[in-house]
Structure 1
Amino acid sequence: MSFEQSALSRRAVLVAAALLPLAAGKAEASAATLDSAQDHYDRAARLAGDDPVLRQIVKALSPGAVPPSVPAPEPLRIFDDVAVVSTGFVSATALVTSQGVILIDALGSPEEAEQIIVPQLRSVGVDPSKIRYVVAAHGHYDHFGGAQFFADRYGARVMMHPADWDLLAADAPANAPARDLEIVDGQRLTLGDTTVSFHHTPGHTKGTVSAIFPVRWKGRRHTAMLWGGTNPPAATPDKRVLLSSVLGFAARMRHAGVDVELNNHGASDYGLARMEELRSGSTGSRNPFVLGQARAQRFMRVMEHMVRGRIATDEEAGAAASPLRSPRTCC
């Protein structure tokens, strides 16, 4: 097992050069919005076309969108080495490695960890006692609520970006885990045969992180991303931060060859429906979570234009709402 941080080295210089699109993305995000909100929403809709995954993210990012009430699905291995358990509203994703399990998000409470995650992972052949790390993608209760349970019962280490550890320290929400490992941008976590890279994608919260990692389907390797926080923040400046994160992460996805899109709120990206397609076998040998690199990039372009539209909506209304800090805010 290793938990690596960046060092000043020749490799760091090469990585920095590879991520130059991120700086360009930030510059683009800071530029004044020239198109109307409707222009951006229309562009997103055209990019989405009749693609159900892309159409669903358009709906999720539209002004006034409310997360739907969806029945909890049965757990499922969506890849040979990835299992998802879900309440319907929020999901926890288990990455199975040769030396244990990395759990991304832990649902909303110790009770959900014990009564949902533990038995449901066992039902799909994943041993919860082998969870070595719990990663909270951001500091809202529905992502960290069960983390301390795994730390106490199985000795798992809990990981979060320092900005959201600070958020928990300031607000002292129920079920907050004890402060443990901090995630920095570009950090890599290696467990057995699997290395996950974490990328700081603030906007939804100041400390939201998104992950890129290898997966296998019927023995064939793919590269997945898991977007850490979908719902746009209330304040217009924070939406601009989110836009920079979308642009920068799209560049990192392109560099990594990402062809799989995942989300911790499966109703926002057609993920729960794709679980049922996979379970039923209606897609044949095709895995519906494998979008291909071009479609994965189009997904991010749709997100970009929806966030640009949300910024323009604020500007057109002459409103810059106050940010919501409470860790009980979710999605």
Structure 2
Amino acid sequence: MTSPLPHPATALSRRRFTRLAALALTAGATTTATPANAATPDAQAYYDRARTLAGDDQVLLTLVKALTPGAVVPRPPAPEPLMLFDNVAMLSVGWVSAMAVLTDDGIVLIDALPSPEEAEDTVVAGLRTLGLDPRTIKYVIVTHGHDDHFGGARHLADQYGARVLMTGADWDLAADSGSPHTPTRDLDITDGQRLTLGGTTIHLHHTPGHTAGTVSPIFPVHTAGRHHTAMLWGGTNPPTTPAALRTYLSSIRTFRTHMHRAHTDVELSNHPVDDGLQRAEELRANPDGPNPFLLGTRRTQRYMQVMTLMLRGRLASATT
């Protein structure tokens, strides 16, 4: 796995790309927002500042829309598997995605989709489509204990011997969920833990708020001979109580510090709240062009600033 990975042979035709992009935009258009006059003045001021900061940046505008109270989670069609970077594959059912980080000694999977069937049909089949061997999945990092992220983990552990990691709090959350797909408790993630495989180190940071034990990874990626650093925010949908919103804001603040120290310049997401699926299709259609996931350090920080402002607006409403 040391040689550069080719782009998949499943490149979309212009017609199919246009159709999929249109469907994704249509799905995004179903997002609804609370009317401006329904927000408190203090909350609306934060939302307005977020939109101003976003400017005409489609990635940031999509995040604003996703975090606006009353937003509906889009349900875009599932894309074909795709190498986002030479060492990162996206395996998605549309509304939720898994990322496979490739190392010299195997694969680290970030999230595992909602069910064993989707893990098999999307993760396993997708890796094979990309010329990768699912038998080399060594670890499954579950960002948080909701079944759309852990649902396929037990299947991958049973089939390939993959070790499953989650925070202690979210192992408990998963166990209490009543899901028939909850994995057997395996490895606990500690805050700031480093998972190293094949010379690749993934830093795992506790970012509670979406759940008590949400984890957000920072890890190296490379493309065209250049090295970058990616982040993936582990849980986007905000909580509703003031205490939990303050916890969420504290997590954003701490994680931004980790991002700054790591010179993070790539943003990824496990849900389509960041225009990620549309960017993936742009990359598929033009694999030799600029990588749309490479935002640069300032823009990735702006992404988190926009998130902060939107959460402060929600907190202003919750405490009014």
TM-score class, shorter: 0.7 to 0.9
1:76 is the counterpart of 2:79: no
Secondary structure (helix, strand or coil) at the match of 1:223 reads strand
Partner residue of 1:45 out of 51, 68, 82: 51
Deviation at 1:299, TM superposition (A): 0.6
* Corresponding position of 2:291: 287
* Corresponding position of 1:278: 283
Unpaired segments ≥5 residues, structure 1: 1-34, 317-331
Q: Could you tell me how far apart the structure 2 residues matched to 1:290 and 1:98 are?
A: 23
Q: Could you tell me how far apart the structure 1 residues matched to 2:154 and 2:268 are?
A: 24
Unpaired segments ≥5 residues, structure 2: 1-40
Deviation at 1:75, TM superposition (A): 0.7
Tell me which amino acid in the other structure corresponds to 2:283.
L
* Corresponding position of 2:31: none
Asked whether the 8 Å contact 1:96–1:126 carries over to 2, the reply is: no
Partner residue of 2:307 out of 299, 303, 314: 303
Deviation at 1:126, TM superposition (A): 2.0
Deviation string 1:177-233 (CA, Å, 9 cap, x unpaired) is: 000000011000000020000000000000100000000011210000011000001
1:204 is the counterpart of 2:210: yes
**Pairing 1:59-208 to 2, within 5 Å after superposition:** 59-208=65-214
Asked whether the 8 Å contact 2:174–2:182 carries over to 1, the reply is: yes
Q: Could you tell me how far apart the structure 2 residues matched to 1:252 and 1:80 are?
A: 24
Aligned length: 280
Partner residue of 2:267 out of 261, 268, 271: 261
Deviation at 1:77, TM superposition (A): 0.1
Deviation at 1:172, TM superposition (A): 3.4
Deviation at 1:237, TM superposition (A): 1.2
TM-score normalized by the length of structure 2: 0.86
Asked whether the 8 Å contact 1:63–1:310 carries over to 2, the reply is: yes
Tell me which amino acid in the other structure corresponds to 2:314.
R
* Corresponding position of 2:26: none
Deviation at 1:284, TM superposition (A): 5.1
Q: Could you tell me how far apart the structure 1 residues matched to 2:73 and 2:176 are?
A: 27
* Most deviating of 179-188 and 165-174: 165-174
Tell me which amino acid in the other structure corresponds to 1:83.
A
Deviation string 1:295-331 (CA, Å, 9 cap, x unpaired) is: 1111110000000011111122xxxxxxxxxxxxxxx
Asked whether the 8 Å contact 2:219–2:229 carries over to 1, the reply is: yes
Instruction: Say what the alpha-carbon RMSD is for the aligned residues.
Output: 1.1
Tell me which amino acid in the other structure corresponds to 2:312.
R
Secondary structure (helix, strand or coil) at the match of 1:36 reads helix
Q: Could you tell me how far apart the structure 1 residues matched to 2:313 and 2:241 are?
A: 14
* Corresponding position of 1:214: 220
